[in-house]
Amino acid sequence: MSWAPIATIADDVNAGRVKAIDLVEQALAAIEEHKDYQAIISTLADAARSQAKSIDEKVANGVNAGRLAGVPFIAKDNLLVMGVEATAASNILKGFVPPYQSTVINRLEAEGAICVAKANQDAFGHGASTENSDFFVTKNPHDKTRVPGGSSGGPAAAVVLEMAPFAIGTDTGGSIRQPASYVGCVGLRPTYGLTSRSGVVAMASSTDTIGPLAMTVEDLAYVFDVYAGKDELDSTTIGRDPAGYQLPAAAYQLPTARIGVIKEWMGEGLDDDVRESVEKAIADFKAAGAVVEEVSIPSLPLSLAVYYILIPAEVSSNLARHDGQRYQFSEQSGKDLFESYTLSRAKGFGREAKRRIMIGTYVLSSGYYDAYYKQAQTVRTKLINEFNDVLERYDFLIGPVAPNAAFKIGENADDPLKMYLVDMMTVAPALVGVPAISLPITPSSQTSMPIGLQVIAAQRRDRELLEFAAAAEEVVSHG
């Protein structure tokens, strides 16, 4: 059974027309039905049922249970939920049960949302396919032989499989937008700092963001409005738009939009079927009356190299805390403290985590810091300036989310460089800190797999981005 719009679900629960416990049972049944897709790491059945009964009791006593009353959702496994194992799909954290939970989860639950499961991901967020999960590979809902993208592949697949009306993921360099493109849902990367990172297992602190995945922009905006904004537990957070992020009744007027098509993303390296789908969307915008012009961001071809210098540097720092002493996994055979460190990390971390630790440690080391890390930060600043310049002249920028549609499981597993190239269109907005969204457009003419259009706005213009995306959702071709 398909889910109703999220606002409708909450209204029905608060009015007593629908029971929260029935919604939880619907979600749990869908999780069980589609367990062969391996989207879920753990199910919170008992806790979810208990929360649902409490919400139903509130409603029966005439108390409003919140804007998300009874709405089930799924959290990526790197978001802490109190009393529930949080592994970030890594062996080194297996068995870790946090004594507190993330601000995002707190705010969702305060409005009546119910977390029913924790979803699979690439371990610590290191990957673009969920093949780097230490547990199992999630399958694409449209083709079990293909990946769902990553690192938020589990949450994205869960939404499309209707396990819940929405999911919460994290986006460091594309980890919400790319899986949303691969499975055919909507995924938002907000402006950096607009969502609290408190209670989220860190990957790269300067680009980590927390965003929703849903089947419609309306649902996505409704959820985002609940948890966006400043948090005293995260000093990097910024204030929310005073108008909020819930979409107004009036649709955005596309003829007023000035749209820039990013030239560097439409050339070499882009698969023909993706180019075809993006060009159809461009034609749809023009037919709707929008001004659509090609724009150039000269430093964009350097963004992937910059990302894979800066982010491993932050990864190596953040993963240093996992030393076999303070968190779950600890190899007991070490003869001394140093050997305990090395053996615990050797056995606890997966291959990709080790690769990024080694790269990050190298670029931060004496003699290489100036040659790599400092140079990359200089180019990052240049990218920020170039994006700011273009976004002063255009309301939105568009282009592909990824250079291809979902690839076969195992196709890129033994070629790290080829896997990293999947991120070539998503890392720049992350480095710059601007909001971006993935919208489903015409599926691949070759494989019929979903393809996403990436829409980017200037910093703090998340509300305008959501309004535009809702209007675009109505006019772009879906096949």
Catalytic residues: 76, 151, 175
| Cβ neighbours of residue 170 closer than 8 Å, sequence gap 6 or more | 76, 78, 79, 125, 151, 152, 176, 200, 203, 208, 209, 210, 211
Secondary structure (3-state) at 9: helix
* Contact yes or no for 439/262 (Cβ under 8 A): no
C-alpha to C-alpha distance for 300 and 305, rounded to whole angstroms: 10
Q: Which of 176, 187, 163 is nearest to 40 (CA)?
A: 163
Task: List helix spans (H) across 300-425.
Answer: 303-318, 337-348, 351-364, 375-393, 416-421
* Contact yes or no for 470/213 (Cβ under 8 A): no
| Cβ neighbours of residue 434 closer than 8 Å, sequence gap 6 or more | 191, 387, 391, 456, 457, 458, 459
C-alpha to C-alpha distance for 36 and 426, rounded to whole angstroms: 29
C-alpha to C-alpha distance for 251 and 241, rounded to whole angstroms: 18
* Contact yes or no for 127/120 (Cβ under 8 A): no
Label the pairing between strands 186-189 and 209-214: antiparallel
* Contact yes or no for 454/398 (Cβ under 8 A): yes
